[in-house]
């Protein structure tokens, strides 16, 4: 019984790690976009804003509205985060099943060794 509780604790840690990954990735994207927005506002104040941005309300745009360039590693994290965010119910169930299945197999292996 203890091995199943340990397996559930491990599953909970993995799920929380996934949540932390999603949150930190989205916060990093938001911070990068906010820097980009501030640069655009500075360009607007200087009168050097590109023509494509002239009619855009810089205070209302979101990072999802703009094709922002990011590093390859951040793009991978963003793709993974979006997948985890969209299919969290599959991820959570999979992690719990794998951890409980691992606990079951672990118990079967050690039960045979004790005989």
List pLDDT tens digits, range 8-59: 999 999 999 999 999 999 999 999 888 888 888 888 888 888 887 778 888 8
- pLDDT for 114 equals 64
Q: pTM above 0.85?
A: no
Alpha helices of the chain — where are they, by DSSP H? 2-46, 72-86, 88-114
Quick one: pLDDT at residue 90? 96
pLDDT of amino acid 65 = 76
Tell me the C-alpha distance between 19 and 93, whole Å.
14
CB 1 within 8 A of CB 100: no
CB atoms within 10 A of CB 38: 11
Name the band, by pLDDT with cuts 50, 70 and 90, for residue 78.
Answer: very high
Poorest-pLDDT segment among 54-58, 83-87, 101-105: 54-58
């Amino acid at each position: 019984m203890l091995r199943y509780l340990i397996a559930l604790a491990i599953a909970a840690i993995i799920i929380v790690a996934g949540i932390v990954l999603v949150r930190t990735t989205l916060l990093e994207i938001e911070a990068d976009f906010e820097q980009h927005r501030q640069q655009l506002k500075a360009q607007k104040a200087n009168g050097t804003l590109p023509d494509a941005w002239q009619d855009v309300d810089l205070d209302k745009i979101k990072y999802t509205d703009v094709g922002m360039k990011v590093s390859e590693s951040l793009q991978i994290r963003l793709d993974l985060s979006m997948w985890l965010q969209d299919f969290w119910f599959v991820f959570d169930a999979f992690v719990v099943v794998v951890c409980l299945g691992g606990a079951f197999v672990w118990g079967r292996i050690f039960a045979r060794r004790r005989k």
